[in-house]
Amino acid sequence: MVKSNGIELWTEGFGQPGNPPILLVMGASAQGILWPEELIEQLVAGGRYVIRYDHRDTGQSTSFDFQKNPYTLEDLAKDALGVLDAYGIAAAHLVGASMGGMICQLVSILHPERVLSLTVMMSTPLRTGIVETFQQAFQGKTPEGALPPPASRAIELQLAAASNPPRDREEAIDLQVKMARTMAASGVPFDEQECRRTVERIFNRARNPAAAMNHGFVPSPTREQAEALKHLRVPTLVIHGTDDPMFPAAHGVAVAERIPGAKLLMLEGMGHDIPRALFGELSRALLTHTGARA
């Protein structure tokens, strides 16, 4: 547990602290344990020191009453920097998934001196109106000129869950497993037993499982933050799946286009998840990008 911005954050480090550091930043409502340990072990074997952590309102970290204590994406970015401060790390390689990719983009804009490199996985470029665009997508509307909305299978499940919310822990676990299956690529084997064990662990270690939903209230980035992407000078790798149902492939392309010099790695058979079948390819890409020999 570390102190950051007046709150507690659960963290976990892997490998030798003297090695080049990678900070893994997970997505909205997601605990740090969703970064697979097998993937982390491959990064450690490649000479990296890897840190993962629970965002505020997830896992073992401090939870909030969002109505009384609202926070922004910038606050989540400050939490990430607070983790680095607690470990005595001046600058790190940032790897962010989904909303974590947005957080890492914002850290890179606000404090580029703390960022050795940036990797944005299965995410979307910082832009205004992200929250509103998603709300419109779930209402069946797509604003003209906007990036593609989530796939119909993702929207249909979210709407079904909203109209018939889980009544107890077991139904909540069943729903999370169903959501994980929906987010996974359609052409990749889905290990339901392993997923269920992970979801049960998530519920068991959460201070307040319901608090994770607060991330859905975090406002969109400001126009100034979105515009700053085109001036970013941090070495950037964008990793995206061809079958991502939450952020279709065009979102990954847009990130790479908006950040000068960014490289795009589009992975066949990857959805809005980190499948075991791609651990090797992902670790090689990350080791190469962060300066190690794959």
Residue 39 has pLDDT above 60, yes or no: yes
The one catalytic residue in 93, 251, 272, 289 is: 272
Instruction: Give the whole-angstrom CA distance, residue 40 versus residue 44.
Output: 6
The one catalytic residue in 29, 61, 98, 117 is: 98
Task: Work out the pLDDT band at 293, boundaries 50, 70, 90.
Answer: very low
pLDDT of residue 160: 87
Residue 107 has pLDDT above 70, yes or no: yes
Domain 2-129+206-289 is of which CATH architecture?
3-Layer(aba) Sandwich (3.40)
Q: What is the mean pLDDT of residues 154-182?
A: 92
272 labelled catalytic: yes
Residue 292 has pLDDT above 60, yes or no: no
The reported pTM is: 0.96
The one catalytic residue in 54, 244, 251, 289 is: 244
